[in-house]
Structure 1
Amino acid sequence: MFQSFQETASPEQGPARLAALREALQAMTLDGFIVPRSDAHQGEYVAPRDDRLAWLTGFTGSAGYCVALRDSAGVFVDSRYRVQVKAQVADVFTPVDWPEVGLAEWIAKALPDGGRVGFDPWLHAVEPLRSLQGKLDTVTLERCANLVDRIWEDQPAPPTGQASVQPPELAGEAHGDKITRLAARLGRADTAVITLPDSIAWLLNIRGSDIPRNPVAHSFALLHADATVTLFIDKAKLVDLGDHLGPRVSVVSPDSFLAVLATLSGPVAIDPATCPVIVADTLSEAGIEMIEAQDPCVLPKACKNETEIAGSRAAHLRDGAAMVRFLAWLDRQPPGSLTEIDVVSALEAERRATNALRDISFETISGTGPHGAIVHYRVTEKTNARVEDGHLLLVDSGGQYVDGTTDITRTVAVGHVGEEEAAAFTRVLRGMIAISRARWPKGLAGRDLDALARVPLWEAGLDYGHGTGHGVGSYLCVHEGPQRLARTGTVPLIQGMILSNEPGFYREGAYGIRIENLIVVTGAPALAGASVPDMLSFETLTYVPIDRRLIVTEMLTGPETDWLNAYHATCRARLEPLVECEARDWLIAATEPL
């Protein structure tokens, strides 16, 4: 299997590791050290070698920090992880609600007389570090060697996975054309520094295997105004590429990255949100002018071309058929007969049976009962719970296929489920439908639409702590920026952007609900007499039935019922030819109109 169920958190080892880190602080005469969940490439996902936050604290979430001081240590987590962190860290660490409590605020309170806090300049981006230092009056942030690396005796080796070609028939554009197009947009910059692994993968039409679940290769790149690229990567990873990169891409050892930066003529564009501090330091020390600008690949990568969208549609149909087979099997199992691991294993088996699965797109979330309230729950052999009668079972999963990345959540009833759960499920469904049906003027961003998904919950005094949707890559990372459906989503939505649509509700200690489809921004059909004729809307990519047993039909409006019936009719029409026997019978029953 792609997914394992071993414990990756080690809370019992946290006290000894924190003590060793404090000895390193003492030796460096520092008052503290910041441990982010990031690597030198500043992407969201890290290889085992770079998972320093989890190694030190036991917390395995995808975002967060630890600030380790000599007499206290805060673990900063956002609302997705506040249940999880309690179970994963020892009591020598204090969970901190972040960003409600910022790092600067916490550090200043913990060090009222000032002090010196160290950080690794490879692991912090320019703007976040600048913002943090700007909020600290008496505390100084100091560049230093990574203290976790000094005490991590069995730290894994750097990844050395092979890269592969993503051909134009899947990418929709040759990488030489991408290089030319983006180089022409550099303005007065002679070079742009690119550190995000998925940006480099997209630009050069390559995929990698250095990070679990994410087909990217660790590398750095320089995009030059003369439409050439310098790629800093271990050449051993490129054996399978043949002559794909071509003469316009020069391959150089990553060990020479900083030395080459110091020889550039400038101006050099850096993205302050993702450029490591050490890159800016190197350019500054060499007297090279810097221009702060967004990574040139980020927005073009987010706006999928027609080939990529067609590939995503095909991937979702394939994945949808696998989901239907899985859900049909799940419904045949008596309550109490399955565990959460059984559920994950069965679903992965159905995806593997397509003979097209390259990997799962993230660790499958299979949370029954109270575990469903842990937003990013990961089942292990230790936590593996039985799926009991009366439970809600939340399954959030996805696949990596060469033509697209999928991400889908379905919450299903196991036996008889209470009225409270059904009412909450229906409110979540209404929010998901509201996003699906939305049309809006061009220029609006995710923050302008996010509330649509929350209004049915707000009406009952309910809400959820995560965003409504994230961007999704094209056989790349399942979390992709810059677009978001969230209060923090400030980037205007543009045709071709793929996002998730996943409102939820979580009752800690009881149950969790989330319903998720992927959607793509498209032009809205014209309306007669409209005063705003040029509007946008969403096309749904995911077609898998939603559990009708959990829907309180009288809570739905007429248009909501019509949307759901039409959605289910499309699910049946598209998936019935792809499934057979018991799965086909289940699909027909599950898509009957309300």
Structure 2
Amino acid sequence: MLMNTHEARLDALRKELKARGLDGFVIPISDEHMSEYVGGYAQRLEWLTGFGGSAGTAAVLTDPALTPAAAMFVDGRYTLQVRDQVDGRLYAYESVPQTTIAAWLAVHAPAGAKIGYDAWLHGSKWAQAAEAALAAKGGTLVAVDGNPVDTVWQDRPAPSPAPALVHPDRFTGEVSEAKRAAVSEWLAGRNLDAAVITALDSIAWLLNIRGTDVERTPVALSYVIARADGTADLFIAPEKVTDDLRRHLGNAVSIKPRDGFVAALRDLSGKRVSVDPERAVSAIFEELRKAGAAVVEDRDPTVLPKAIKNPVEQAGHRAAQARDGAAVSRFLHWLAVEAPKGEVTEMSAADKLQACRQEAGDLRDLSFDTISGAGPNGAVVHYRVSEETNRTLEANSVYLVDSGGQYPDGTTDITRTVWVGPGAPGPEVKDRFTRVLKGHIALASAVFPKGTAGSQLDVLARMPLWQAGLDYAHGTGHGVGSFLSVHEGPQRIAKSAGGQPGGDQPLLAGMFLSNEPGYYKAGEYGIRIENLVLVEPRTIAGGEGDFLGFETLTHVPIERHLVDTGLLTETEIAWWNTYHARVLEIIGPQLEGAAKAWLEAQCAAL
């Protein structure tokens, strides 16, 4: 029997592992910076397995006769997607956090196995857990010299050579010198000599630079070593350095070749060095320890300041949201006219939405691949449409579209669920939609004491679904960057920390988050309502202590045809009416003609 493409690639990898004396290998979606979205050169998991999600890992055992001989590990967002994209004959499907790669290897790897991993793609905590699990069976975890996937990936693309770009101070609200001074103060206060900063969005924020090296995230491939004296070393490929960048960084930032980073780590011998275990790969810890540096594990000092947006960033985001909201509203009007004709597909809808954003002006990129899910595809939480899966938006069905744009003054992320007519939606889908809406309103309306973490608020969004015995398998909210990562820590709103950083981070004024409860009926439809919000101080008459609440930043009509008003309280209806009056105020002046008339009808009071 002839092998298919991914079967042949898996076979080639196994031959390479055998030649290296390895009994298995672990392949994550990751790069040297622990990025969520990675450049084409680092898409090893997709090349090997066909899986196109943004979070997942494969474990491959060298002996194909073992059962199972390979497995794919994904969380609840990708339960359906992994089955559509990854051959179940080749890989067992495993769910995290119900299981872990370390636990799976402990059960399925042969006794005494040598399991390889690329220390430049995994965190040190993962490596420690896997090493301990294998040791229980007499096995060992082996850091490979050169990734074996790269050896068999003959046409692997090279990293992007695009130049790094200066991000103007009019968008950042704070000059790089001030940010570096704050890091210097942080280091001095902890008696540290330096911090190794590897997260690409941290580097972009600290130095006020951006780039085009990773699709959907405006960052430049680089490393930084920040020092207690306020200076910093930027390690970046020479072809990415321009005279504009040199002038911008000034004399306090030394620009060095990216391939000199390891040698610079070794030069930190005898120094006290801070490294973030959540954002730096295992190889960095090993290089520092071998060099004799005193490694201090601590959160990257830019993470929290980056998350707390200053007034300039907040104003920029509101401006970006106003343009983006008008673009999405134009798209929804177009959809209302065209979808009932039966000719709109998931791909044509996504293309039209991107065109609307481009027409709005200053769009630099999408903030992630548009999730355009018709009918049953909408139930795939992080669905990505392809030629093979592309569906027509059928009459009398649900359509879910989750999308966002990257603008120099802000990053947007919005989900709307639409009813495609001409008929009326049935009672079940209206019930589910309205329960999601009730949860969205409850979270948007929350007032809470300073010190409250996102995990403490998550129940507000889920309670209307829980009351009907329903739930959703993803977090309720994530942080959002300022012309940076659409998923930004440390803040998040989820059931608990769940093994992910940020679940217990107190929410602070100035943080951006998403508010996106949902419901998904496998094989039928998906529902999600997402706006972005800003944490802001709240004054309560007679209140004691400091309290916070949310300002809703996204202004686009919510699908009124799916609302069961009988399930809404007077307070919830008042929220709806106030929200849509604000949508009309902000978006109305940007529309005209039929689109404006449509907007006015959508924003009419319930």
TM-score, reference length from structure 1: 0.96
Letter in 2 for 1:144: V
Q: Could you give the per-residue CA deviations for residues 24-43 of structure 1, whole angstroms, max 9, x where no partner exists?
A: 12112211101011111111
Distance 1:523 1:237 in 2: 41
Q: Does 1:67 align with 2:55?
A: no
Q: In the alignment, what sits opposite 1:290?
A: 295
Q: Secondary structure at the match of 1:83?
A: helix
In the TM superposition, residue 106 of structure 1 has moved relative to its aligned partner by 0.8
Answer yes or no: is the 8 Å Cα contact 1:231–1:249 preserved in 2: yes
Q: Could you give the per-residue CA deviations for residues 303-355 of structure 1, whole angstroms, max 9, x where no partner exists?
A: 11110011000000010011111111111123412111121111111111112
Residue ranges of structure 2 left out of the alignment (5+ in a row)? 498-502
Answer yes or no: is the 8 Å Cα contact 1:424–1:505 preserved in 2: yes
Answer yes or no: is the 8 Å Cα contact 2:237–2:259 preserved in 1: no
In the TM superposition, residue 242 of structure 1 has moved relative to its aligned partner by 4.9
Q: Does 1:248 align with 2:245?
A: no
Q: In the alignment, what sits opposite 2:229?
A: 226
Q: Could you give the per-residue CA deviations for residues 342-399 of structure 1, whole angstroms, max 9, x where no partner exists?
A: 2111111111111211111111111110010011111122221111111101011111
Letter in 1 for 2:542: G
For 2:85, which of 83, 88, 94 is the aligned residue? 88
Matches within 5 A, 1:75-474: 75-90=72-87, 91-111=89-109, 113-136=111-134, 137-138=136-137, 139-145=139-145, 146-186=147-187, 187-239=190-242, 240-264=244-268, 265-333=270-338, 334-415=340-421, 416=423, 417-474=425-482
Q: Secondary structure at the match of 1:244?
A: helix
For 1:485, which of 471, 483, 493 is the aligned residue? 493
Q: Secondary structure at the match of 1:342?
A: helix
Letter in 1 for 2:292: G
Letter in 2 for 1:44: E
Q: 1:31 to 1:338 in 2, by over 3 A?
A: same
Choose 236-245 or 141-150, whichever is displaced more.
Answer: 236-245
Q: Secondary structure at the match of 1:243?
A: helix
In the TM superposition, residue 131 of structure 1 has moved relative to its aligned partner by 2.9
In the TM superposition, residue 95 of structure 1 has moved relative to its aligned partner by 1.2
In the TM superposition, residue 280 of structure 1 has moved relative to its aligned partner by 1.1
Answer yes or no: is the 8 Å Cα contact 2:462–2:471 preserved in 1: yes
Q: Secondary structure at the match of 1:251?
A: strand
Q: In the alignment, what sits opposite 2:500?
A: none
Q: Could you give the per-residue CA deviations for residues 547-571 of structure 1, whole angstroms, max 9, x where no partner exists?
A: 1110000101111111111001110
Distance 2:278 2:41 in 1: 23
Q: Secondary structure at the match of 1:444?
A: coil
Q: In the alignment, what sits opposite 1:4?
A: none
Answer yes or no: is the 8 Å Cα contact 1:527–1:533 preserved in 2: no
Q: Does 1:18 align with 2:15?
A: no
Q: In the alignment, what sits opposite 1:587?
A: 599
Answer yes or no: is the 8 Å Cα contact 1:194–1:295 preserved in 2: yes
Q: Does 1:537 align with 2:549?
A: yes
Answer yes or no: is the 8 Å Cα contact 1:335–1:387 preserved in 2: no
For 1:548, which of 560, 566, 574 is the aligned residue? 560
Choose 22-31 or 61-70, whichever is displaced more.
Answer: 22-31
Q: Secondary structure at the match of 1:82?
A: helix
Distance 2:522 2:49 in 1: 23
Q: In the alignment, what sits opposite 2:483?
A: 475
Distance 1:376 1:407 in 2: 13
Letter in 2 for 1:520: L
Distance 1:116 1:235 in 2: 38
Distance 1:101 1:494 in 2: 33
CA RMSD of aligned residues (A): 1.2
Answer yes or no: is the 8 Å Cα contact 1:126–1:274 preserved in 2: no
Q: Secondary structure at the match of 1:570?
A: helix
Q: Could you give the per-residue CA deviations for residues 466-514 of structure 1, whole angstroms, max 9, x where no partner exists?
A: 0001111000011111111112211111111101111100001000000
Aligned length, in residue pairs: 582
In the TM superposition, residue 529 of structure 1 has moved relative to its aligned partner by 2.5
Choose 146-155 or 106-115, whichever is displaced more.
Answer: 106-115
Q: Could you give the per-residue CA deviations for residues 230-288 of structure 1, whole angstroms, max 9, x where no partner exists?
A: 00001221225351111010000111111111112411111111211111111111111
Distance 2:240 2:91 in 1: 39
Q: Does 1:507 align with 2:504?
A: no
Letter in 1 for 2:128: R
Answer yes or no: is the 8 Å Cα contact 1:397–1:408 preserved in 2: yes
Answer yes or no: is the 8 Å Cα contact 2:197–2:300 preserved in 1: yes
Q: Could you give the per-residue CA deviations for residues 65-123 of structure 1, whole angstroms, max 9, x where no partner exists?
A: 10101231010000000100001111211111112111121111102624111111111
In the TM superposition, residue 64 of structure 1 has moved relative to its aligned partner by 1.1
Letter in 2 for 1:227: G
Q: Could you give the per-residue CA deviations for residues 532-588 of structure 1, whole angstroms, max 9, x where no partner exists?
A: 331111111001110111000010111111111100111011111111111110111
Q: 1:335 to 1:461 in 2, by over 3 A?
A: farther
Q: In the alignment, what sits opposite 1:5?
A: none
Answer yes or no: is the 8 Å Cα contact 1:502–1:517 preserved in 2: yes
In the TM superposition, residue 194 of structure 1 has moved relative to its aligned partner by 0.5
Q: Secondary structure at the match of 2:186?
A: coil
Distance 1:501 1:568 in 2: 17
Q: In the alignment, what sits opposite 1:3?
A: none
TM-score, reference length from structure 2: 0.94
For 1:47, which of 39, 42, 49 is the aligned residue? 39
Distance 2:393 2:224 in 1: 48
Letter in 2 for 1:54: E
Q: Does 1:494 align with 2:508?
A: yes
In the TM superposition, residue 169 of structure 1 has moved relative to its aligned partner by 1.1
Answer yes or no: is the 8 Å Cα contact 2:201–2:485 preserved in 1: yes
Q: Could you give the per-residue CA deviations for residues 415-469 of structure 1, whole angstroms, max 9, x where no partner exists?
A: 1322111110000001111110001111111110111100000001110000001
Residue ranges of structure 1 left out of the alignment (5+ in a row)? 1-10
Q: Does 1:569 align with 2:581?
A: yes
